[in-house]
Amino acid sequence: MSFKTGIEKIIEIYKRSHLSISKFSSLIQKDRRTVTSWVDGLTDVEPNEEVKKRICSLFRYPDYIWESGCTDDEFLKSITQIPQKEVRIIDEDYQGRLKYIMDVEKNRRFVIQAQFPGPMYRDTAVQRVFRNRTDKNIEELKQKRIDQMLRYDYDTTEWYSIKSILSFCYAKIGNFFTREEKIKILELIYELFNNNYNKKLFLFDSFSRKIYGMETTYISINVKQKILFFKSPIESVFIEIRNRNLVERMHRYYSSPIEAPSHVNFLESVKIIKILQDALKYNNTLAQAYETINRMTDYGELFYHNLSVDLQKEVTPPKPGQRRN
């Protein structure tokens, strides 16, 4: 079958969706009679750009499926296979990966961090945790990136799960930091982000939705270049995505107070960093730290969710009027 016109392409997409005409019509925000006229071949009027954009957004198809050159087999391939030009494997050594990150995040960065703290803050504040010896060129690159991130005017937006920051402060397993090192790292982050609108820190509740993977994978979003990359389960490999719709959707998801998972806003996040730093400084327990957060902020409920069931029974329930974002 030939797929040259917009209507022919929409009909094929509709068939593959296995939706009723009513459901398909409501999703693309068109009248049922209009969609029926397309399917029955009663009109040859080309659908408008809004409909095409909506279909690409809903079904995650690339924008170029509507181009005149994308016909027949090429069109079918575009809606059934992952476009090779939109997905790239970055398989480099440590130095190559570091150069790649610095290039994509050269002027600004918008990241969902796998764990707290980010490695650059860790390596700035305390002695190296994972590596004892590295190449001189790598050390120079790492220092260059550290200097970049420590600049007052470097634009960074960072998301950490509440679970990861509480684990950093209080976990007894898989925690490589001494109490003094934890205090030093929290102090560094507080000084960097406090009263600096170039740097925004968000703490999100990974238990509020089914987004557990977001706290185990480093994801960097460059919405201007329409690039998203994340670390694969293989240490030496990054996966780069250049699907415009997906990149914009991810960025919009974590930029919108309404769409994003339940989180602490960036002003209160800095305040909570200070509370946790003081808690460690005075040897307060996790329960005591929670009680302070619940009393001094409007986000106790989010931290309450991250306590064990047994510990929830021992602490004060979240105070009324708590905010989720």
For the cut 90, the answer to whether the pLDDT of residue 126 exceeds it is: no
Instruction: Output the pLDDT for position 268.
Output: 93
Mean pLDDT for the stretch of residues 258-280: 92
Percent of the chain with pLDDT over 70: 92
**Residue carrying the six token digits 């790649």:** 100
Instruction: State residue 108 phi and psi, 5-degree precision.
Output: -160, 165
Does 182 or 17 have the greater pLDDT score? 182
Banded pLDDT at 127 (limits 50, 70, 90): low
For the cut 80, the answer to whether the pLDDT of residue 157 exceeds it is: yes
Instruction: Output the pLDDT for position 299.
Output: 93
Question: Cα(40)–Cα(114) distance, rounded to whole angstroms?
Answer: 50
Let me know: does 104 contact 220? Beta carbons within 8 Å: yes
Does 209 or 65 have the greater pLDDT score? 65
Mean pLDDT for the stretch of residues 8-36: 89
pTM: 0.72
Let me know: does 195 contact 274? Beta carbons within 8 Å: no
Instruction: Output the pLDDT for position 212.
Output: 52
Instruction: State residue 56 phi and psi, 5-degree precision.
Output: -65, -40
CB neighbours of residue 172 within 10 Å: 6
Q: What is the pLDDT of residues 314-323, one digit of tens each?
A: 999 998 877 6
Mean pLDDT for the stretch of residues 77-93: 75
Domain ranges in the chain? Answer: 6-80, 87-314
Tell me if residue 78 falls in helix, strand or coil.
helix
For the cut 80, the answer to whether the pLDDT of residue 2 exceeds it is: no
For the cut 80, the answer to whether the pLDDT of residue 216 exceeds it is: no
Contacts of 2 (CB under 8 A, 6+ apart): 8, 71, 72
Q: What is the pLDDT of residues 50-64, one digit of tens each?
A: 988 888 888 878 787
Mean pLDDT for the stretch of residues 196-210: 85
DSSP letter for each residue of 93-156: -HHHHHHHHHHHTSSEEEEE-SSSSPHHHHHHHS--SS-S---HHHHHHHHHHHHHHHSTT-EE
Instruction: Output the pLDDT for position 215.
Output: 54
Tell me if residue 2 falls in helix, strand or coil.
coil
DSSP letter for each residue of 246-298: HHHHHHHHHH-TTTSPSEE-HHHHHHHHHHHHHHHHTT--HHHHHHHHHHHSS
Instruction: Output the pLDDT for position 207.
Output: 76
Banded pLDDT at 82 (limits 50, 70, 90): low
Question: Cα(111)–Cα(159) distance, rounded to whole angstroms?
Answer: 6
Mean pLDDT for the stretch of residues 115-142: 76
For the cut 60, the answer to whether the pLDDT of residue 282 exceeds it is: yes
Tell me if residue 299 falls in helix, strand or coil.
coil
Q: What is the pLDDT of residues 160-173, one digit of tens each?
A: 999 999 999 999 98
Say if residue 86 is exposed, middle or buried (CB neighbours under 10 Å; 0-12, 13-18, 19+).
middle
CATH of domain 6-80: 1.10.260
Percent of the chain with pLDDT over 90: 33
Return the axis-axis angle of helices 49-59 and 6-17, rounded to nearest 10°. Answer: 30
Banded pLDDT at 130 (limits 50, 70, 90): low
Instruction: Output the pLDDT for position 128.
Output: 61
Q: What is the pLDDT of residues 225-249, one digit of tens each?
A: 888 998 877 777 888 888 887 888 8
DSSP code at position 239: E
Upper half-sphere CA count for residue 227 (Cβ side, 13 Å): 19
